[in-house]
């Protein structure tokens, strides 16, 4: 009898370990799906504003000279490398962040910083001008509490704060399920 009990206990522990691994994997899958869905929604909302295949908004510059002189990109000058043959000067705006679509915002912000050749210090200086409402409040509290050392630390802390929504995320719902069949049933609602 004791031998059966030990066998049952070992089996239960093994099953629990496997189930925990499944939950962790499902959590990662749900997080990835949520990011993909957010990116898809963000891209469909902004699709009308994008006219180039690279995803950078192009705006015709009527004041551009024939010699290809530098045109402004924000407060910096865009080099001739940013001009194409059609006399178009690629211009992008630093994205405003209101707390929604955090992964899409990071992607757009990094593109802006990359094209402008901004250093980490310059990136951190530009941030507060592009936040709205509760995001701006969060930013100022974080600066007072512990200033950001660099762009990477800012991204990590911002994602930790804004990647979760006020509503219960699908991954949180999935993690509360006790059996694989309940998880599959819940996933089918999102597919």
Split into its structural domains, the chain has a count of 1
Which pTM does this prediction carry? Answer: 0.41
Q: What is the pLDDT of residue 7?
A: 87
Q: What is the pLDDT of residue 71?
A: 46
Residue 157, domain member (yes or no): yes
Residue 190, domain member (yes or no): no
What span, in angstroms and rounded, lies between the C-alpha atoms of 138 and 164?
A: 14
Q: What is the pLDDT of residue 56?
A: 46
Q: What is the pLDDT of residue 80?
A: 43
What span, in angstroms and rounded, lies between the C-alpha atoms of 147 and 140?
A: 9
Using CA atoms, how far residue 126 sits from 8, 24, 151, 183, in Å, is 60, 36, 11, 43
Tokens of 55: 């995803």
Q: What is the pLDDT of residue 48?
A: 44
Q: What is the pLDDT of residue 191?
A: 52
Q: What is the pLDDT of residue 127?
A: 79
Taking the chain (191 residues) in runs of 10, the rounded mean pLDDT of each run is 85 88 84 73 52 44 46 45 43 78 86 86 81 84 89 88 64 66 68 52
Residue 60, domain member (yes or no): no
CA atoms within 13 A on the CB side of 110: 10
What lies within 8 Å, CB to CB, of 75 at 6+ separation is: none
The pairing of beta strand 88-90 with beta strand 71-73: unpaired
Residue 125, domain member (yes or no): yes
Tokens of 6: 């030990």
Q: What is the pLDDT of residue 36?
A: 75
Q: Which domain holds residue 135?
A: 75-88+99-163
Q: What is the pLDDT of residue 173?
A: 60
Residue 48, domain member (yes or no): no
Residue 82, domain member (yes or no): yes
Residue 32, domain member (yes or no): no
Residue 34, domain member (yes or no): no
Which residue in the block uniquely carries the two structure tokens 């030990």? 6
Q: What is the pLDDT of residue 91?
A: 65
Q: What is the pLDDT of residue 88?
A: 39
């Amino acid at each position: 009898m004791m031998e059966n009990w030990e066998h049952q206990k070992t089996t239960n522990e093994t099953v629990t370990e496997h189930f925990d691994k499944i939950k962790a994997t499902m959590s990662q899958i749900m997080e990835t799906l949520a990011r993909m869905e957010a990116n898809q929604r963000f891209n469909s909302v902004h699709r009308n504003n994008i006219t180039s295949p690279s995803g950078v908004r192009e705006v015709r510059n009527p004041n551009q000279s024939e010699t290809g002189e530098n045109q402004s990109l924000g407060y910096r000058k865009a080099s001739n490398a940013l001009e194409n043959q059609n006399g178009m000067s690629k211009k992008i705006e630093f994205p405003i962040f209101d707390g929604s679509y955090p992964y899409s915002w990071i992607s757009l912000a990094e593109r802006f910083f990359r094209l402008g050749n901004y250093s980490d210090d310059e990136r951190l200086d530009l941030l507060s001008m592009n936040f709205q409402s509760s995001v701006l409040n969060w930013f100022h509290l974080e600066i007072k509490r512990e200033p950001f050392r660099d762009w990477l630390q800012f991204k990590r802390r911002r994602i930790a704060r804004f990647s979760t929504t006020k509503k219960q995320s699908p991954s949180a719902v999935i993690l509360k399920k006790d059996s694989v069949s309940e998880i599959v049933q819940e996933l089918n609602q999102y597919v």
